[in-house]
Homo-oligomer: A and B are copies of this chain.
Amino acid sequence: MNGEVLFPVIETKSQVLQDQAAAADRLRKELNKKNTVLINLMASPGAGKTTTLVRTLRELKDRYRIGVIEADADGDEDARIIAKTGVRVVQVHTGGSCHMDVKMTEQGLEALEAIGTEALDVIFLENVGNLVCPAEFDVGAQLKVMLLSTPEGHDKPWKYPLMFQVSDCLLVNKMDVAEIFSFDLEEMKKGAAMQNPGLQIIPVSAVTGAGYPEWISWLTQRIESVREGNA
């Protein structure tokens, strides 16, 4: 896992903010002014965030100028994978922190701005792999998307309710192997609807591409609606 450096690696420090919510709102307003849509992508480790992102970038990169912030406690494997798609990417190290906060996100955004000349339309933040803490931190994103992969099991809405409550869209990933894990989609949907009746649920497979027309259509509609709201 060595080699030439292809992207900035930022060592962030989480900061205790008196008012995280106010800071998140300030950042969101700033992003709206720039007509940039920030999407906070959250999931457990290994749910398929990076693979989902690669497939999504392939579908969107001719339509939007896109940037990616990769957040991890350590390492840069995911940023290397994203760099290969040709999209602008920075690696953020959270210094062991299990989530991104507004301050850290701002540092990622600044680094992303510093390595390019054109303004970005859409920025994906791939949050730290964690189904608990990232749900508690509003980073200033206009859209929150969570992934749940079928090997994790259909009982997750009952055990990690907050993530389901705060998300706009739930991608149920690895549907191609759902049967092997006796993953009951309807049971999971029941739990998810209890936590968040407005949650958009789209079963997908980042490997086979199943569900991607629906996901890309939902995503572009939401991106457009954020951008129209700014107009």
Contact = CB atoms under 8 A, between A and B. Distances in A.
Nearest to A154: B46
Contacts of A155: 75, 77
Interface stretch (A102-110, A111-119, A157-165, A208-216): A157-165
Contacts of A129: 44, 131-132, 159-160
A224 interface: no
Interface stretch (A15-23, A29-37, A145-153): A145-153
Contacts of A44: 44-46, 129, 131, 152
A77 B154 CA distance: 11
A101 interface: no
A177 interface: yes
Given A98-B98, A98-B133, A131-B130, A153 B74 contact: no
9 tightest Cβ-Cβ pairs between the two chains A and B: A46-B152, A98-B132, A151-B151, A75-B158, A75-B159, A44-B45, A45-B131, A98-B133, A46-B153
